[in-house]
A and B are shown apart, each in its own frame.
Chain A
Amino acid sequence: MTLLDVDDVSIVYEPRGAEPVTAVRGATFSLEQGEFVGLVGESGSGKSTLGFALTGLAKAPARISSGRIAFDGTDIAHLDGEDLRRQRRGGFAMVLQSGMNALNPVRTIANHFADIFAAHEHVPRGRRRERAVELVEKVELPASVLDRYPGELSGGMRQRVAIALAMSLDPRLLVFDEPTTALDVLVQRAVMDTIIELQREENFTAILVSHDLGVVLESTARVLVMHDGVIVEDGPSARILTDPQDDYTRMLLSHYADPRAEVVELPGLRVAGSQISTTGEPPAEPATDAAPSGRAGTRTGRTRAAVVLDGVSKVYPPPRRGEDPVTAVDDVSFTIEPGDALALVGASGSGKSTIAKLITGVERPTAGTVRLGDTDVGSLRRAGLRRLRRDVQMVFQDPYSALNPLHSVEYTLMRPVVNFGGLRGREARRRMLELLEIVGLTPVEQFAAKLPHQLSGGQRQRVVIARALACDPQVIIADEPVSMLDVSLRAGVLALIEDLREQWGVSLLFITHDLLSARVVTDKILVLNRGRVVERGETAQVLRFPEDDYTVELLDAVPQPGRAAD
């Protein structure tokens, strides 16, 4: 039985005072009852827009400009508010990416269920509690969560509650829009497993909207690939994995690899054993080799210094009265020799970002010492910290918030050049253009004039890297530098980081939860769990032959399209 029939649907955005943009073009497909389908695409591909439209949630300025969405025979594209509301019961529901933030913080979980039951009156008053317990148990939560407030639950638990809420109207079609993206790596896996299990048991039709082809191939039986608003591929997961028809799908697939493999290959990057080589130019990211060669060593000829952490602990005061103090980092020691690359991996809350803050002097250690060469970072005061920033720079996780939206690339890059380099006027400008060339943003003059919103995520991250390089630092701390980027852009940025380290001899502290990228750009690795080092060694060695259970768990969380076929 065909449950959903989407026929030549186009969706346009019509913002006031701007050109309309077509987000989805001629989408045509149909879903059978009980199918689990993945909808994959990178940011801007229109996948979420389509997902919203399927559940009647498309809102201004988005408009379904043509086509027909038939749900069980009725066209929902043109239903009005009240009809749509009634359709939601036994019809379609949606679980949002930030669904866990959709819970009202001042009401208990039970209240959320009660609201829905009351609005649709499909559960008799006396049975409501019972039904709510049933629902939360379906998503593997204890019945006791019903009496708790959203703030008392973890992100994963809240997302499970959001799924249970979506289930409470017995939908026949459930759309999951990036249901696990905002969660921690390890939790992601567990929630995804619950969703798969649930779909199998309840046999509803489900659409999993995701940017991650790996996750989708692992969990769904059929995959739709979207690119620039067009569905470019539609087929069974197994076939897409082994025999992708479209170039775009093939390109996406090429960006997945197993960090445990002996040889790891990404477009533009190849790592075998512990030797790293950069092969040629990555297809999607041109001109990474633009850096002037033969310039190893710092420009100003300063002596290189190692970063040494010795028995460092950081304890934060208790978050609420009566609770225990929080130990974020517990007796961690390591050294980054000049020019080395060290990966710091762990799930969220493992203390990796706190270590970054300790090295940059943003926080002071509770015990132990953090040193850069002869400088004791923990004891620096304001002027000392300013000097430290010449040597220690950061690349931020989110390129969308790391650049001031109102400043041009030129302004952003000129500031550190002027402040630290002591250059003025034309010389400073020349240096700024040189930086743009190093990170491969050519033609430089054109990029210098641009504002952040005119750049893609990968280009923004290159600007962030250029800014970090501007004062010719000795150490760069990269805090999840690729986790916010589309999969296809990651390899290019990683290749750039790898390249810079080799050419300029900068030490690198690479903080990540993504073991694949750690494998590609670092030589040594440190696995952190709750502030403690659980495993350390050569990156290739540790990832290929992990000893600690936690490391194994992290490795299992890496999405691999190939695993679905096993």
Chain B
Amino acid sequence: MTEKQATTRGETAGPTEPAPSGRDEVPDGGADVARVAAAASPLTVLGRAAGTIWSVPKARVGLILLAVFVLTAIFAPLLAPYAPTDNSFGRAEGGSAAHPLGTTTAGEDVLSQLIYGSRVSVLVGLVAGFGATLIAVLLGMSWGYTRGFAADVINFFVNLFLVIPGLPLMIVLAAYLQGGGLSMIIFVVVITGWAWGARVLRSQTQSLRSRDFITAAQFSGESSFRVVFREILPNMTSLITGSFFGAATAAILAESGLSFLGLGNTAMVSWGSMLFWAQNSNAILTGQWVLLFAPGLCIALLATSLTLINFGVDGLSNPRLREGKGR
């Protein structure tokens, strides 16, 4: 129960929030005991979180999809029939037993490129998503907790990044840092992607800040740092997880976009660069629609899988959303 004040106690006392019985005794219910035993170790907490996400059908589909992509990325060398840059095959061939998805105009195997390309997307998604979330958490929470001058300064920077249109900034940055490869792309995506998360986390921090238990922590002599990271942060798990998946989705799309525009390293095999080369060689005109369709579909599916997982994240720290249907 993160956001509803306990002032609604008089209402239906659902079992998720065991209401005190008439006498002063521990509320009964075996489920509660189990829940607490679970809270003891961080590993079981993680397991329980995964369980919560898994219990939502949409999120389950998302998890399976994501797992497929991650496994593909990890085991790419085993799965791919050829090396992605091997251009010793016939050019622009259609699908055949040797090349199920055909070959590119440069004579590379499309399926192998697709499999290797997942590495870039998954890596950029996870790393840039993590980076953007980290900045969002640090800035958003300190912004939400402090008052006065420091908050105004952060406010200025966040608004600045919110106002600047993302894609043009990305293009400018990427063009300026030409040739930096993957790390450059991650950097650009992180720089342009953290501001919304910071804004969301800030407003939640502000609402938690006025709770009694925060005042109580201050009265216990806690430093601001501890109040923010030990008292407030754990209450925002679902928001932070949600913003991580959101940022990862945005990062995957941004990476593909940049590569498609030819602003990344065009020699590196990624779904975006596949699209770039396909576009360059007028693949649609030559009837090789698979060249555009396959990487496009993969990008869409990976982004969709993360978005689907986000449906399950809602239930993480809000028990009411876990109760499901018929609300």
Contact = CB atoms under 8 A, between A and B. Distances in A.
A360 B219 CA distance: 9
Interface stretch (A125-133, A430-438, A463-471): A463-471
A19 B31 contact: yes
Contacts of A284: 23-24
A284 B22 CA distance: 9
A109 B124 CA distance: 53
Interface in B4-59: 5-27, 29-33, 36, 39, 55
Interface stretch (A197-205, A307-315, A414-422, A504-512): A414-422
Given A396-B212, A467-B220, A60 B20 contact: no
Contacts of A467: 216, 220
B20 A486 contact: yes
B208 to A, nearest CB: 10
A415 B324 contact: no
A406 B235 contact: yes
Nearest to A18: B31
A60 B323 CA distance: 8
A44 B10 contact: no
A219 interface: no
Nearest to B232: A404
A227 B10 contact: no
Given A45-B22, A486-B20, A62 B12 contact: yes
Contacts of B55: 16-17
Contact of A61 (B14, B213, B218): B14
A450 to B, nearest CB: 7
A466 to B, nearest CB: 11
Contact of A415 (B9, B10, B22, B220): B220
A344 interface: no
B12 A404 contact: no
Nearest to A53: B12
A177 B10 contact: yes
A386 interface: yes
B5 A21 contact: no
A187 interface: no
Contacts of A419: 220-222
Contact of B221 (A21, A61, A415, A489): A415
B91 interface: no
Interface stretch (A158-166, A452-460, A517-525): A452-460
Contacts of B325: 60
A386 B221 CA distance: 6
A489 B24 contact: yes
A397 B211 CA distance: 12
B93 interface: no
B326 interface: yes
Interface string B278-293: 0000000000000000
A268 to B, nearest CB: 12
A44 B222 contact: no
Interface in B284-327: 322-327
B220 A16 contact: no
Given A404-B213, A404-B231, A453-B32, A458 B323 contact: no
B77 interface: no
A339 to B, nearest CB: 21
A39 to B, nearest CB: 12
Contact of B6 (A398, A451, A489): A398
B95 interface: no
B213 A393 contact: no
Contacts of B29: 19, 21
A236 to B, nearest CB: 23
B154 interface: no
A365 interface: no
A228 B23 CA distance: 10
Interface string B215-236: 1111111100000000100110
A414 B171 CA distance: 52
B13 A484 contact: no
Given A15-B322, A16-B324, A404-B231, A456 B9 contact: no
B82 to A, nearest CB: 47
A389 B221 contact: yes
Contact of B27 (A398, A405, A454, A471): A454
A396 B217 CA distance: 12
A92 interface: no
A492 B20 CA distance: 15
A448 interface: no
A394 B219 contact: yes
B290 to A, nearest CB: 43
Contacts, number: 177
The size class of the interface chain B forms with chain A is: 35 or more
A470 B18 contact: no
Contacts of A420: 220-221
Given A19-B29, A457-B20, A404 B235 contact: yes
The size class of the interface chain A forms with chain B is: 35 or more
B77 to A, nearest CB: 40
A393 B12 contact: no
A60 B15 contact: no
Nearest to A98: B8
Most A C-beta atoms less than 10 A away, residue of B12, B29, B231, B322: B12
Contacts of A405: 1-2, 235
Interface string A381-404: 000001001100110111011111
A23 interface: yes
A371 interface: no
Nearest to A415: B220
Contacts of B32: 453-454
Given A458-B24, A484-B6, A394 B215 contact: yes
A52 B9 CA distance: 15
Interface in A446-504: 450-451, 453-459, 464, 467-468, 470-471, 484, 486, 488-489, 492
Given A458-B20, A486-B20, A16 B13 contact: no
A535 B221 CA distance: 36
A334 interface: no
Most A C-beta atoms less than 10 A away, residue of B14, B39, B234, B326: B14
A153 B11 CA distance: 24
Given A52-B12, A62-B12, A401 B213 contact: yes
Interface in A15-66: 15-19, 21, 23, 41-46, 48-49, 52, 59-62
B26 A454 contact: yes
Contacts of A456: 20-21, 24-27
B36 A13 contact: no
Nearest to A227: B22
A18 B15 contact: yes
A199 to B, nearest CB: 21
Contacts of A396: 212, 215-216
A379 to B, nearest CB: 18
A60 B18 CA distance: 17
Interface string B198-220: 00000000000001110111111
A59 B327 contact: yes
A61 to B, nearest CB: 5
A486 B10 contact: no
B217 A404 contact: yes
A43 B11 CA distance: 9
Most A C-beta atoms less than 10 A away, residue of B18, B30, B211, B212: B212
B179 to A, nearest CB: 46
Contacts of A400: 6, 9
Contacts of A177: 10-11
Contacts of A470: 220
9 contacts: A18-B31, A19-B29, A46-B13, A178-B10, A396-B212, A403-B216, A404-B231, A451-B36, A453-B18
Given A19-B29, A23-B12, A43-B13, 13 more contacts: A16-B324, A19-B31, A44-B19, A60-B323, A62-B12, A228-B21, A401-B6, A402-B213, A412-B220, A415-B217, A456-B24, A489-B20, A489-B24
CB-based closest 3 A-B pairs: A400-B6, A419-B221, A456-B20
